[in-house]
Amino acid sequence: LAKTTQPVSMDSYEGQEVNITCSHNNIATNDYITWYQQFPSQGPRFIIQGYKTKVTNEVASLFIPADRKSSTLSLPRVSLSDTAVYYCLVGAGYNNNDMRFGAGTRLTVKP
Amino acid sequence: DTGVSQDPRHKITKRGQNVTFRCDPISEHNRLYWYRQTLGQGPEFLTYFQNEAQLEKSRLLSDRFSAERPKGSFSTLEIQRTEQGDSAMYLCASSINTVRTQYFGPGTRLLVL
């Protein structure tokens, strides 16, 4: 079971790029890295998923180095509406025993 | 399809009462998951179904918690003899075959007085 470590909180300002790093030193060969976003009083929302190198979608980019022991979620030009909790999960996805939510990173975007 | 739906969105009950929550997954999704989330914590996995089969239930918090998915479509989560410590957000999610990408509902917020 690959455990993840993320910063508890981060602050940023509107228009800045935000990078949230997740450490997963024990990642296994078949594990993927998945990020979710959660706003207050809502369920988490899938943002992005990757296995290696770089993945980009309309919301974010995910950078994964060659050793895959960490990953970085990059949010370009954040706005106030990006204030949320961001969760990093690592697992192969075969069953729920190998994908657990931690406490996440609470991102606060200031004007 | 409008996504995963949960009903009710809010529930206030008195200690000792039974409560039941409903989850309707995205229609083509064969997996359905239940989570509990308390303030400041990430979602805590409770149980999941693949079609109508409950494949993991060891993480249900106590024998007061039970879940069903009788026809492989919607699911219900029941809490019997509620306690104040059961106050939390109960989340449902669904997916196709893999747990890697889950789609969550808005949750049911339970308050036990």
Among residues A65, A82, A81, A64, the alpha carbon closest in space to that of A73 is found at: A64
Residue to mutate among A86, A96, A97, A106, with most B CBs inside 10 A, is A96
Do residues A90 and A24 touch, judged by C-beta distance below 8 A? yes
Q: Tell if the CB–CB gap between A97 and B56 is shorter than 8 Å.
A: yes
Q: Tell if the CB–CB gap between A46 and B102 is shorter than 8 Å.
A: yes
Using a CB-CB distance cutoff of 8 angstroms, which residues of chain A are in contact with residue B43? 44, 101
Query: How far apart are alpha carbons A82 and B58 in whole angstroms?
Result: 35
DSSP state of B84: G
Per-residue pLDDT 10s for chain B (113 aa) are 579 999 999 999 999 999 999 999 999 899 999 999 999 899 998 998 999 998 887 778 889 999 999 888 999 999 999 999 999 999 999 998 776 789 999 999 999 99
Per-residue pLDDT tens over the stretch A56-108: 999 999 999 999 999 999 999 999 999 999 999 988 766 655 677 888 999 99
Helix (H) or strand (E) holding A23, with range, is: strand A18-23
